[in-house]
Structure 1
Amino acid sequence: MWRKVSLPVIMIISILLIWEGSSRLLQIPSWILPAPTEIITEAIQGWANFQQHVWATVSLTTGGFIIGTLCGLIIAMLLHVLPRVREAVYPLLILSQNIPIIVLAPLLVIWFGFGITPKLLIITLVCFFPIAVSTLDGFNQTDAELIHYMKMAGATKKQVFTKLELPHAVPQIFSGLKISATYSVMGAVISEWLGANKGIGVYMTLASSSFRTDRVFVAIFIIMLLCFIFFSIIIGLEKIILKWRPSKGESS
């Protein structure tokens, strides 16, 4: 356990030390590439003004992630219980992911204005697809013999779904949630670029336009930290909910 934690920490510290030494030795201007110490200093000194942007992004991310999760689960369930609809709609879901969000975003602003609605829609579009696909895969990977056994025992379609297929798909659902948790932060930042009065995306835009590269790096590191926190929360929930599943060592 200690080795798994120590090796990444050592690697990160080594990169930061090389970065710090290179910036000072080569005398790279701060507006091009600030040293890590300058970034940390700016983060500490500017936190009073920066924290409102962080909390705005966190609240937007949380709301969009919840909506995207619900949409993904509902769509997956409908496509699973309605095979005909799945054959017609599933290709459209795949095509929807080929449209870059940054291209679709201006249309959402035109249709829904500069309020919170287009921002939530962007996060939802980013989040729902991994959850829907992972959940569908979980449903489809249910043991056919168990389904046949339950039907032979007189179970209805609803009972087969709620007592077998849905529990079997829970690990796959969490796989989609972990992907969407990190995507949701990215979607929130992109949505804030379109037009908002606060948020990490707004902070980055103002910092880049004024050549405050240190502030841009502060925003980048905070985004990485938020992604890690959201990812860790999902992993924690997964461990709590899936306590009944044996580990690889126990199953072997």
Structure 2
Amino acid sequence: MRGQYPLSLVSRLWPLVRALAVLLVLWQLAIWLFQPPHYILPSPSQVLSALVRQPGFFLSHSLITVSEIVLGFVLGAGLGALAAIAMAAIPRLGQYVWPVLLLFQALPVFVIAPLLVVWFGFGMASKVIMAMLIIFFPVTSSFADGLRRTDPELLDATALTQATHWQTLFHVRLPLAMPSLLSGLRVAAPLAPLGAVVGEWVGSAAGLGFVMVQANARMQTDVVFAAMTILAILSVALFHLINGLGPRMVPWATNQ
């Protein structure tokens, strides 16, 4: 049993590794065929060289972005789950809250990010809140949908036991909706880095987004691609962490 999880992880990562290898080959072929200037499109080796040349620099900025991503993800997922439960527990509340959530979701992130920087400053708070807002809606939407779609026949059978509204919610509807929550977390995981980096683009003094903005202004495209590579790795790692830990924490959701 202990050897099955690493094998399962390898089997899940293999399509990604294969796609990445194809992308790198096509990228290098484009460099050989078109020979663009390095400030337009650096080669994979130049991007790797940028990473190797200053590992401490990238590590320090990556740790800041990782902190923003983790905090934003935890807060966004937690508040999103609580909002979904509240709307399921009090249906009238959902009638008023849901249109407001849709309105905020319709606003482009680049509209919200500058306001957050003005309100909360150039520090970590504005980036964490930006990531939290991006995570909040998919988690709320998926979990609320799962809570709403509980089998009516099962609810009727539960009513025969004289269970209260709250008992039905927490002992029947909530466990059955956990697969939907996991789906929302899987959708939200790749979005958390986007929220943090958008906040860093708008205004910051550190982080991968800050590195990309500064390097782009100096036409250091290899550094921009290096930061993008780290960001992509973080996104994939967070997705697979949720994908791996979710079914272990909620085993009944594995086959749903």
Structure-2-length-normalised TM-score: 0.90
Are residues 1:224 and 2:232 paired?
Answer: yes
Q: Residue 56 of structure 1 is aligned with which of 39, 64, 68?
A: 64
User: Does structure 2 retain, via aligned residues, the 8 Å contact 1:24–1:35?
Assistant: no
**1:184 CA displacement:** 0.8
- CA distance 1:83–1:8, change in 2 (3 Å): closer
Match of 1:14 among 14, 17, 22: 22
Aligned to 1:37: 45
What does the per-residue CA deviation read over 1:104-124, in whole Å, with 9 as the maximum and x for residues that have no partner? 122222223323332222111
CA deviation after TM superposition for structure 1 residue 137, in Å: 0.6
Separation of aligned partners in 1, 2:248 and 2:97: 34
| 2:80 corresponds to 1:72 | yes
Hey, what does 1:138 align to over in structure 2? 146
1:52-101 Cα distance to aligned partner (Å, 9 max, x none): 01000001110111111111011111111111111122111111111111
How large is the Cα RMSD of the aligned pairs? 1.9
> For 2:14 and 2:188, how far apart are their aligned partners in 1?
27
Question: Residue type of the partner of 2:35?
Answer: Q
1:154 aligned partner: 162
| 8 A contact 2:117–2:199 mirrored in 1 | no
Shift of 1:241: 2.1
SS of 1:34's partner is: coil
Q: In structure 1, the residue corresponding to 2:106 is in which secondary structure?
A: coil
Task: Give the distance between the partners of 1:229 and 1:149, measured in 2 at CA.
Answer: 42
Q: Which amino acid aligns with 2:172?
A: L
Task: Determine the structure 2 residue equivalent to 1:97.
Answer: 105
Q: Which runs of 4+ in 1 moved over 3 A?
A: 1-11, 244-248
Distance 1:7 1:197, change over 3 A: closer
Deviations 1:200-243 (A, max 9, x none): 00110111011010111111111111110000110111220232
Instruction: Give the one of 95, 103, 114 matched to 2:122.
Output: 114
Which residue identity lines up with residue 137 of structure 1 in the other structure?
D
Provide the TM-score with structure 1 as the length reference: 0.92
Q: Could you tell me which runs of 5 or more consecutive residues in structure 2 were left unpaired when the two chains were aligned.
A: 1-7
Q: 2:213 aligns with which of 201, 205, 210?
A: 205
Q: What residue in structure 2 maps to residue 239 of structure 1? A: 247
Contact 2:247 2:254 in 1 (8 A): no
Indicate how the Cα distance of structure 1 residues 98 and 244 shifts in structure 2: closer, same or farther if over 3 A, else same.
closer
**2:185 aligned to which of 152, 170, 177:** 177
The verdict on how the C-alpha distance between 1:229 and 1:82 changes in structure 2, with shifts beyond 3 A counting, is same
Which amino acid in 1 is paired with 2:34? L
Structure 1, unmatched stretches of 5+, are none
2:204 to 196, 201, 214: 196
Paired residues, number:
248
Q: Deviations over 1:8-50 (max 9, x none)?
A: 5344323312321331343221111111111111111221211
Say if 1:116 and 1:7 are closer, same or farther in 2 by CA, change over 3 A: closer
For 1:73 and 1:16, locate their aligned partners in 2 and report how far apart those are by CA, in whole Å. 39
Letter matched to residue 232 of structure 2: M
* Percent identity between the two aligned chains: 34
Q: Are 2:247 and 2:253, in contact at CA under 8 Å, matched by a contact in 1?
A: no
- What is the identity, as a one-letter code, of the residue corresponding to 1:149? A
